[in-house]
Structure 1
Amino acid sequence: MDRRSLLKGALAVPAAGLLTAAPAPQSTAAPQRSAAPAPFNVLIGDVSSGRIYLFDRNKPFTDAHIKWQLNPAGSGHPMEHRFRDTHADGQILLAVTGTPGSGTASIYRRRDKKLLWSADIPNYPHAIERAPGTGVVVVAGRSKGAGGGTAKGGSLHVFRPAGGHSGSLVRAGAPIPFFQAHGLLWDPRLERMWAAGGSVLTAYRIVTTANSAKLVEDTGRRLTGFHHPHDLQPDHQHPGRLLVTDTNGVYAVDKSTMKRTTLHSRKLVKSYVHHSSGEQMWTGAVPGGNAFGTKYVHFDKSGVARARAGAVVYKARLDTTAYL
């Protein structure tokens, strides 16, 4: 699929690469294209090759410009990949891979790519997150079987450290039912683990003892009305809100009021990032195309859509360990 066909199939995405924006109390309109694009690195998961790649957003996504890459543990699709900081292991990569029948959660030390920990996930994992302080890791997975709205179940899997390093993680109780679990994000300001899936965005407190860890829902922060959420991210320009994508659009959620605002009406957005510079970065599928996405990562400021030849990019992440 060439660039022209992609834009035609992307429900009237302007040539500059912007999503179709709806009015919002806080504008996410891009700066003028005369401004130089912000320099940052982009971590992508390629469903086609099963590999994770790091690129400079201002250079072509070709083999010659790979800054870091990994073939993660387990077989299947790389569904999530994010860098986090730890006291004991330095900077780590959290990753999940899987298929509709099974999956794997894994943690790697970034500097030497050493596998520190992995665990089998008995459904199709789509997200992984770590809570600093407690060291608790949560994995979100939807049920086995066919995808989309036909998947009936889903769960959150909780792992707690039995020692001081990431390799000591052990399961902490039975999985917590969560329909179509897709997104996770730790919130250091509220000390909550946000989770999204099905029609719900909600938050959990993490309660730990010396030998246990559990999630307790903060029901006052539960918001319904989504249509199969795909991604859950911070807003790096507005830390007081979350960014959620679902089948029908991209939304901002004010964490203090739990009010949802539609930012963009482009359908099938699989990942969406708002950089601190104001840059918007997104990936998405097109009607009739691969359900995971295309070979493109879109940037609104420069109007450039970076393509990784032969790839199918599900999620694109910033090279940052910052939660918010």
Structure 2
Amino acid sequence: MNRRSLLKGAAAAVVGAPLASLALPTGAHAVGGTYDVAVCEQAKNQILIHPANADWTPQNRRWAWTPPSAVVNGFNTWTNLSDVRFRDTTAHGWVALVAASYGKVGMVDIGDGDALLWSARPYGNPHAIERIPGVGAVVVASSEQDTGFGGPGNHPAVTTIEGGKPVTRQGFLTVYAPRPGQSDNPASLTKVDEFEFNGAHGLWYDGTYLWVLGTDLLVRYACTGTALGFRLADSGVRIPVSNGHGLDADYGDSRYLLLTEGGTVRRLDKSGTTPQLWTPTGAGVKSYSRTASGESFWLQAINVTDPVNFPDPDKGYWNTYVQFFDGAGSKYFTRPLTGYGYDAKFYKARVSGVAFS
């Protein structure tokens, strides 16, 4: 795909906010809003983008990307794509930030041969990746100290005594920053910091702060320094959560973030400290997104939606479809893959930030 087929340079009200998608393909079934959805699909290990208001067929697909193989100790460290988000950069236009649970993270140059501009292996089951514009730094959230697949991790679990009982905390944040004068050159990214963050699963940069969601805390970090001096500084906002998993902007209202916990979806006023219960809500939600129109969608684990056929949580953390909701939070429609010849294993779904011509 040539970059000339992408629309570039439009300003967004929220950092990472989606641009408007264009008209539906001829003959598409129009249900849902005019925006695109990106999914991490693990059956074929790929990132796919389709319009929300058309069947998810190969003919309606906007973009697809499959990572290269990177085998370590007999395992492909690009296996099980777990996060994707899109950011508009000065030097490369639209890029996709991607993470894979088996250990790899990277940056893809959308529309210029879809080249992999940069990749790294932070270990620890990477679950989220974010870029800090201007500085050009990248932060990765890893939920474990060891992937268990491609070799030992590089950060030990930490055990403390809490309430008279031992509690083991694991997971960490890894910070990559560019060399001086190379903020637009992903190839210059170098690991500059790494620190423990229990069960780190979600990241979101809101234009000022980086929010990090873990098993028991949502923490707001200030972004300080430039080039190799870039660091995250705890701003003092630390909000208790319960089994945090997904974190995203609320595109319906830029004052809020949306987060998923073990059995709920919550909405956080960024100026406050108490997330409020949001509708819809439910157990096993891996990601939740709300669009500018108020329509929303989530990815809920199939062991929750189909517990009889998928009783094992370790084998049913994905689903074959994405569930959409109307502005009132009522079930609206679903999107499985259609015409691909196999059932999807969707792990995460996001509003796409890329507009295609």
Q: TM-score, normalising length from structure 2?
A: 0.74
* Structure-1 residue corresponding to 2:56: 61
* Structure-2 residue corresponding to 1:139: 140
Contact 2:31 2:52 in 1 (8 A): no
Distance 1:209 1:46 in 2: 35
Computing the radius of gyration from Cα coordinates, the structure with the larger value is 2
Residues 210 and 75 (structure 1), Cα distance of their counterparts in 2 relative to 1, 3 Å cut = closer
* Structure-1 residue corresponding to 2:24: none
Q: CA deviation at 1:151?
A: 8.2
1 or 2 for the larger relative contact order (CA 8 Å, sep ≥6)?
1
* Structure-1 residue corresponding to 2:273: 258
Q: Determine if the alignment matches structure 1 residue 87 to structure 2 residue 120.
A: no
Residues 51 and 36 (structure 1), Cα distance of their counterparts in 2 relative to 1, 3 Å cut = closer
Q: CA deviation at 1:36?
A: 6.5
Deviations 1:90-137 (A, max 9, x none): 1100000123xxx11100111120110000122100000011111110
Residues 151 and 233 (structure 1), Cα distance of their counterparts in 2 relative to 1, 3 Å cut = farther
Which structure has more strand as a fraction of its residues? 1
Q: Determine helix, strand or coil for the equivalent of 2:101.
A: strand
Q: What is the alpha-carbon root mean square deviation over aligned residues?
A: 2.0
Residues 241 and 139 (structure 1), Cα distance of their counterparts in 2 relative to 1, 3 Å cut = same
Unaligned runs of 5+ in 1: 1-34
* Structure-1 residue corresponding to 2:292: 276
Deviations 1:173-201 (A, max 9, x none): 3x11000000000011xx11100011100
Distance 1:312 1:36 in 2: 22
* Structure-2 residue corresponding to 1:122: 123
Equivalent residue in structure 1 for 2:325, among 300, 311, 316: 300
Contact 1:72 1:97 in 2 (8 A): no
* Structure-1 residue corresponding to 2:40: 45
* Structure-1 residue corresponding to 2:81: 78
* Structure-1 residue corresponding to 2:283: 267
Residues 294 and 209 (structure 1), Cα distance of their counterparts in 2 relative to 1, 3 Å cut = closer
Q: CA deviation at 1:63?
A: 2.3
Percent identity between matched residues is 30
Equivalent residue in structure 2 for 1:170, among 165, 190, 194: 190
Contact 2:202 2:212 in 1 (8 A): yes
Distance 2:255 2:321 in 1: 29
Contact 1:82 1:321 in 2 (8 A): no
Distance 2:228 2:64 in 1: 36
* Structure-2 residue corresponding to 1:28: none
* Structure-2 residue corresponding to 1:229: 244
Amino acid in the other structure paired with 1:187: D
Deviations 1:127-157 (A, max 9, x none): 00011111110000011368xxx98410000
Unaligned runs of 5+ in 2: 1-29, 69-76, 149-166
Contact 1:145 1:151 in 2 (8 A): no
Q: Determine if the alignment matches structure 1 residue 315 to structure 2 residue 348.
A: yes
Contact 1:235 1:274 in 2 (8 A): yes
Q: CA deviation at 1:259?
A: 2.0
